[in-house]
Structure 1
Amino acid sequence: MDHQLEVFVTVAETENFSRAAERLHMTQPAVSQYIKALEKSMEARLFDRSNKYVRLTQAGDVVYHHAKEILGLYTNMHALIDDLTGKAGGAISIGASYTYGEYVLPVILKRMKEEAPDIEPTVTIGNTKEISRLVAEYQLDVGIIEGEVGNENLTVEPFETDAMYVVAAPSFFFTTEEKNIAPEDLEQETWVIREEGSGTRRMSDKFFEETGIEPASRLEFGSTQLIKESVEAGLGLSLLSHWTFRKEAKAGTLQVLDVEGLPLQREFSVISRSLFRSKALEVFLREVKEGYRGEK
């Protein structure tokens, strides 16, 4: 059944029987036979087929999401059995929110590879909401996210505190007799923020709510890198993790504003769903908890 589901998932993701056959190193007739057998066992048509496309039916969409969970559990089961007699190795699927995934994770993966070269990580980067969903559906072994997770099926383990500051272009100049800039004095500025579902966006909304300010203008981008470049260009201000702008601050292309009540604190957390962890996953998590602190 596991191979049948693997064929089905591959067809669903490639939306093409020929491409699925190539990826699986099978013939197209063999792929078709697997799909027919699965449709017979489900007593439902799983794909709408034409000369131009192959698309999931409503029933197929249900099977696809469950198949991904089943295959994830099946792979994890094999990894745990292998652990009983072997050293840390094999595949692990890691999800990370943009802040951690783009600015910290590469260092962690390098260290893990040095310690356990037989581990084969695959990485998915997304916002906190996306990574939480993929872990909950067993499509990822583990996720690293910032902020809170509203899913009771996930195990959440905070491991590090992050600090967030308001950054601006070097040309931004603000005069005040006070030691710090009052948040309300920045209300008329343009703020460059992340998209809904992002942990960084959640913190920006929290900052606006707690300070009672309503920015005169907002620009919403789905990339922290794009936000930094926009702020550097003088398009506006942004609230960002200190991990994301260390190089720019050192180079003098971004400045940190001394704003009252900052920095805001938030937690990075490891999220998972499985009750068991492979040796490979344990090695990775050890590097996350030790290596992150080592980079301060």
Structure 2
Amino acid sequence: MPLNFHQLHIFHTVADRGSFSAAAQALYMTQPAVTMQVQSLEEYFGTKLFMRSTKKIELTEAGKVLLPYAKRSIDLIRDTDQAMTSFTQQQKGRLLLGASLTIGESILPRWLGPFGKEYPNIGISMKVMNTTHLIEEIETHQLNFAIIEAPIQHHDMHIEAVMEDELVLVVPADHPLTKLGTPLSLENVLKYPFILREQGSGTRQVMEDKLIENGYDPQQLQIVMELGSTGAIKSAVEAGLGISFLSVSSVKHEAALGLISVLSIDNVTFKRKFYAVYLKSALLPMSAVTFMNFLRERDLRQWL
């Protein structure tokens, strides 16, 4: 029979208590059962582990070699049990989650519903702010976990892509660009006034990086308004105040109702990824680990 923890535990108890009868009492077993398990262990290793006499037992040289390994196995099982107990207790705790604005307003609520159904004992608290402020809160340990819209460079920050997204051009339903047919040239699009997120937002950073990649200076944009949320930008575009680039996931409802139009640009895509970020030097609580595993293992697009 293969080696098992139960036999090692019995062997260690016999060695610790100094007799088969004392070990049997401690383990709530019969003495013959303890003797049989030790004999099975001796048969497995092909050597005697105890020297028996009528008065006492002593470890053989083989038994002395085995004893520290048996203790380590017991310690490992104990630590495993404590870790899993901690895990299940944390699953009944609270997930403190940070999210950049587009994700917090339009994406995460659609993920948190299925997550909550799967883990009903985990409560959720979410802070929504721009990427710069989220990173500051993680650095100062006010947050230990967040999902953001643009990659960052930080020596002590773990960054993991969790989903791909795309920024699309959104314009008022009756905007002149809707009459030109698509795809539009980027040069023509950039002639019109823009409504953008504030500096420091992930959406703004991705848009500006893509413009630079395509040979355009973001400083040349006609920015008529900077707003602090995706919802405010959608309302401003709908009111005819300008055009913008927003996450495709955030404008599906308004586009379906005909409140705004989503237009494509020739040979230019504004694809990006969403990233989970946390400090390498910090230990994530199990509630956050559970949520990270949920993000890794599910097809997140099914809820968008």
TM-score when normalising by structure 1: 0.67
Output aligned runs, 1:183-198, within 5 Å: 183-198=186-201
Query: 8 Å contact 2:170–2:245 — kept in the other structure?
Result: yes
Q: Name which of 119, 137, 151 aligns with 1:148.
A: 151
Deviation at 1:217, TM superposition (A): 4.0
Assess, with a 3 A threshold, how the Cα gap between structure 1 residues 217 and 197 changes in structure 2: closer, same or farther.
closer
Deviation at 1:281, TM superposition (A): 1.7
Q: 1:47 corresponds to which residue?
A: none
The whole-number CA distance in structure 1 between the counterparts of 2:88 and 2:113 is 25
Output aligned runs, 1:1-20, within 5 Å: none
The whole-number CA distance in structure 2 between the counterparts of 1:103 and 1:261 is 27
Deviation at 1:198, TM superposition (A): 0.0
The whole-number CA distance in structure 2 between the counterparts of 1:136 and 1:92 is 18
Q: 2:216 corresponds to which residue?
A: 212
Q: 1:233 corresponds to which residue?
A: 239
**CA deviation vs aligned residue, 1:170-202 (integer Å, no higher than 9, x gap):** 1012354x8521111123211000001100111
Output aligned runs, 1:25-174, within 5 Å: 83=86, 86=89, 88-174=91-177
Deviation at 1:223, TM superposition (A): 1.3
Amino acid at match of 2:216: G
Q: 2:284 corresponds to which residue?
A: 277
Q: CA RMSD in A?
A: 2.3
Query: 8 Å contact 1:161–1:266 — kept in the other structure?
Result: yes
**CA deviation vs aligned residue, 1:20-73 (integer Å, no higher than 9, x gap):** xxxxxxxxxxxxxxxxxxxxxxxxxxxxxxxxxxxxxxxxxxxxxxxxxxxxxx
Q: Which runs of 5+ in 1 are unaligned?
A: 1-78
Q: Which runs of 5+ in 2 are unaligned?
A: 1-81
Query: 8 Å contact 2:186–2:268 — kept in the other structure?
Result: no
Query: 8 Å contact 1:108–1:287 — kept in the other structure?
Result: no
The whole-number CA distance in structure 1 between the counterparts of 2:264 and 2:87 is 53
Query: 8 Å contact 2:92–2:121 — kept in the other structure?
Result: yes
The whole-number CA distance in structure 1 between the counterparts of 2:184 and 2:197 is 23
Deviation at 1:222, TM superposition (A): 0.9
Query: What SS does the aligned partner of 2:241 have?
Result: coil
Deviation at 1:117, TM superposition (A): 2.2
**CA deviation vs aligned residue, 1:140-190 (integer Å, no higher than 9, x gap):** 1210001111221110001111111111011012354x8521111123211
The whole-number CA distance in structure 1 between the counterparts of 2:261 and 2:203 is 19
The whole-number CA distance in structure 1 between the counterparts of 2:199 and 2:92 is 36
**Which structure would you say has the larger Rg?**
2
Deviation at 1:89, TM superposition (A): 1.9
Assess, with a 3 A threshold, how the Cα gap between structure 1 residues 130 and 291 changes in structure 2: closer, same or farther.
farther
Amino acid at match of 1:97: S
The whole-number CA distance in structure 2 between the counterparts of 1:179 and 1:111 is 36
Deviation at 1:263, TM superposition (A): 2.8
Percent same amino acid among aligned pairs?
Answer: 26
Q: Does 2:229 align with 1:223?
A: yes
Deviation at 1:208, TM superposition (A): 3.5
Amino acid at match of 1:295: W
Q: 1:14 corresponds to which residue?
A: none
The whole-number CA distance in structure 1 between the counterparts of 2:224 and 2:267 is 21
Query: What SS does the aligned partner of 1:83 have?
Result: helix
Deviation at 1:254, TM superposition (A): 1.1
Q: 1:254 corresponds to which residue?
A: 260
The whole-number CA distance in structure 2 between the counterparts of 1:284 and 1:80 is 17
- Number of equivalent positions: 217
Query: 8 Å contact 1:134–1:140 — kept in the other structure?
Result: yes
Amino acid at match of 1:107: R
TM-score when normalising by structure 2: 0.65
